[in-house]
Amino acid sequence: AQSVTQLDSQVPVFEEAPVELRCNYSSSVSVYLFWYVQYPNQGLQLLLKYLSGSTLVKGINGFEAEFNKSQTSFHLRKPSVHISDTAEYFCAVSLDTGRRALTFGSGTRLQVQP
């Protein structure tokens, strides 16, 4: 079975500051990794995904993440955040890109302050 740990439940940051949201996973087999964003009362929007290849993945809205196999991590970063980035961020893993269900972390609330 797979599991995902997001150590930070909340991350407050000032506007235009850099941010890193941490994600660690556990699996006995290779997995695919995802970051999703959820705005209040909405579904999930895919930010980026790691399937294979380059370990640095660039996504939408200026976000990027780096896959580190030795540390089993997939941290999400953005060099300069905006107020509009305030949302809940979920890290997820799957055994397949789409045909298998996702296992989600507990989520990190990013609160961008002016």
Catalog residues that contact other proteins under the rule CB under 8 A. 32, 34, 36, 41-46, 49, 51, 90, 94, 97-99, 101-107
Q: How far is the CB of 34 from other proteins (least distance, A)?
A: 6
Residue 58 carries which DSSP code? Answer: E
Cα→Cα distances 18→12, 35, 61, 76, 96, Å: 11, 17, 14, 11, 31
| Residue 7 vs 17, nearer CB to other proteins | 7
98-104: long-range pairs with CB below 8 Å, 24+: 102/34, 103/1, 103/2, 103/3, 103/4, 104/4
Q: How far is the CB of 29 from other proteins (least distance, A)?
A: 17
Q: Is 76 exposed, middle or buried (0-12, 13-18, 19+ CB in 10 A)?
A: buried
Strand partners, 44: 38
| Residue 12 vs 79, nearer CB to other proteins | 12
| Residue 53 vs 114, nearer CB to other proteins | 53
| Residue 81 vs 102, nearer CB to other proteins | 102
Q: How far is the CB of 86 from other proteins (least distance, A)?
A: 15
Q: How far is the CB of 24 from other proteins (least distance, A)?
A: 15
